[in-house]
Structure 1
């Protein structure tokens, strides 16, 4: 057994069992590992107790001092739902937290073994304890945010109280737990439980924890992990329903009131969530007083419903088929997840009506003829109303297919493909080709297709792409070269490296083999953000990659993959810096990017530029809000469209003379977009305005004149939605997806005659 004193290294190897640290702690076994930390079960030799040792890897002296301050903060916390931080120390290059060891299964393991959802009452009891702990954390000065709440991080103490774990796997500082002011890192999130702001790296706050807790409770109550937020945004932006189903739809033992609380906690826009843990705690307490309909049915002091077929006393058999709640674990379980007896599922009928789901009514109670006749007339009117609505819908559809009421007067619609599942259409600068993703199911896998606009001939460019991660299954950021000869895109490679390995590729429009331009790791980049930028002349590509655990690099490579040059070397996301949204500045030899950084308890967001040779890096300006989610340069490089937030987004214009910001338009226009999808705002190539995929009732396409801000409706909506802002170089033709809210398929169309 050799102590590690004096050992120096960037990343510590796994500590072997029986290794002794500080002459006080003996390693028993490794419990888990993250990108920058490892957790061990160890024995405290002096006290003869079991502890958890959490090792963090830092070599930067500033961060080592920050670690000590953060460790002291964690050690000062006292709550029954939080493990205690007992000690901290450094040995060699390793920094260690010593914490309470909580034995046993976590809730995720319990859910897997159980194979069905937990009971509502017990989950609400756990939620009450956790929200009390979050209220305690968020009331600290400054507030403390955990940022990784999930079933895997929940265990029970010896007194059967819930405990929130994983405070020590670092996201840039000492703990998974982080101060609000230094919480811009996106490392280490778990997609199904992470809010949008964490995935985008725009900074978390207490409401982020409430999202994660809501997602965790949802999983425990339904036995279904919630869809990740990127998948949700992609679905709604493409006109499909939010795939996050209400909890009580998946499990009828959950009351609609509890389901509504979870839905609010999991709102994509954080300003629609609960503001405080105490507010959500009170809402759950009130909701918990309401029993689920199925529970009320079981508890009602009535006889089980009987079927009069033929005798009124025949009871539904307990051996009859029973509805089950779908579970992702069902395939691994020998029994159905949750079975509900028919007597619990179906309530006793009302006195004046038969249950609509039984083949024949129960023994009827005689009713006055007048009431029966009134009910008959009401039913007849409802049927007539439904028939009328169906006719209106049919007429609208017919009108839409005939070409009327689809676009503004004077514009022409050409259908390239109909009744397909499609997304992300891009038209070539010369207008000869349209590239788009298509699939046989709404969730993919997606293949890349190309259509010739003159002949309407369609062919597959690339085969279906199987997902590498839960929320990535795309040919992302599809871009034509300026001469319309090549198509560029990025995708996650089948074999990722230390982080998420991305490949940038190109393929000729005529088809053939895709060529790899470059491969790079992006563990610290914002997932789904703009990962590369093609220069205006199409000769070079700029992108940002992880160089090592401590640094990232801004790189330029020739479009054919040769002659790679590193322009800038920056501290990585683990050191509090995030670089995103790379773009060439039109009419110049500069490259711009958004830089988010945290230092000394403060966070800053800047739009910066650097010359193509790596010199003259400087700040252009600091945006008015850290919620800057994207920007688009005007064709002449003299103005910027700034996109703040997503739901809804605020659009502003910044001019190069002084970079002052002003609203794009005074009209009530809501911008919809997603970090997973291509930009949903684009300048008209001649600079006369911007194409906006926005919302006034339905998702449509608008032209906002610049300057001036006048809004022109390109599409007319009605029962359809439209998506797409890709336009030909001569500003004459736009490609779009046209869909209907009640249909899973879309049409691929060209809208032309803009000039």
Structure 2
């Protein structure tokens, strides 16, 4: 029975619309009420043994794939006496069969680009330890999102294949014209996909079904040249397609990489593939424009059944582009997030002005500055400036309220308890004097989590506490934000129903700086939290419970791969990248109490940094200069301490006599700290200089404000 619009499937998925419907089931668009994101749900209502096996196979294959041009399954379940269900990402777009019916043959350069993307996907499938053969490649199973991303979908017929061994089971399920001769009886292997995709390119260029492979093998038909239907197609591309569609497998391209390289050679060397990737005037473009959010949607125009009654899969991966081929070939963007995150923001081009105009402007500026200088020199400029001190202890600071706050009178920080840990009286061997600007940190913003509107959500405010704006509104809450190095995106976790020490069942999400474009990262059960974005923007370190113990992993945004950095038996968490991205400070219990250690960005060479005799150390924060690591020390009433990184003899320095504070975060200009502090039974975010001065309460709302993260200052 078809699911009703508005019903909730599996106590989680709110059905929004029926995308397509057939005799065996339907495809729905739904909202994942746990995560607040759109998903597509594929349904199998009448699971016979064969169809159930095929459905499970599709789920198994898709769940194991991690490639930009291949689909992704996020859930699979069976409801007794009802049906089987696959939950997938939702993509807004259409398949190429629909587009061919609407527009006719596609332009040659567009077909080449689609060819490169799908060949890259096939290479990933065929080069797995156990190769996967798709076995049903055709225009109806190639989809393009509205943003132009290409996806190979519908893995209902796919098979795991032993290298060099053909697979025969299920061979009766094929599409004439696209199926190679061997699929009719001899079995399929990776080169069978080469044939089918060559036939698909043939159809894209001609809008004609090529002659059937079996008929050609038996001598009953001959392949009509592409140029007969479309004289505009180049002879070289026609020859490439004809080779891919050779009757004998040994006469075809032997690998998808060979096929891809042949297509790439047709692109002029001067054409920038990363910047000139328009697929059509209808906005179906393989774009690489800076600032576009990742595509996260699935087609609503997907035909349910092929000519053989197979339902197309509509799952998609996040927006990616093909990987770069060998040789001197055009460069491609590698990640849905990194395409928007340059390592160093480009400076605007300088405008040229006539020399005379520049001179005149200079004279005017000099005159104005002279007038201002007369008044300025009357006082301030002749006063002796205060010396900038190294990080040092500060006692009894006064809390300043943010300028826009209307909170009660300014309170005074209470005296430190007499049982406080002793403050070091010896100075570091090398005194560090931070270089600051006159308005240090003033131009940045602070992202944070707050439950002032109910469940915790991500907010952002100015560095003085003014202008607070809510960015997320996820049903299960969100917290632990961290910025991309260019300040254009945020990573955070959800669910986050309250401030906790660990977050079981949570996952990582990425959004634009204004809260739009929320996109989940690939995860596994357990719980991923405490994300920290690498300085180069390529990776995110995080804590995970996927091994039933807290371990540190790194998520590579370029290839969607996850690497374990922790040793199998260690309990590690709270990773913090060094400014140069080569090391990670973290919290561990390898020697008993929680202590701060440092390891390489690959997990090698882990060593102690702050293994203290006078209390635990945790929540490390690396200074932007790389010279200091600041951390929280103590358990009952913790305080803020700091220590030089490259000076083993340097003692820890208590920065101020303020107790019960957590999560210190440096501003990106190395001028401020932001941190959590409890006063009047309320958890709020505070700011102070790195030397412990100018302590200011930034949030005064009822409820908890926590997890501060400074936005990088970009030029």
TM superposition score normalised by structure 2: 0.34
Name the structure where strand makes up a greater proportion of residues: 1
TM superposition score normalised by structure 1: 0.33
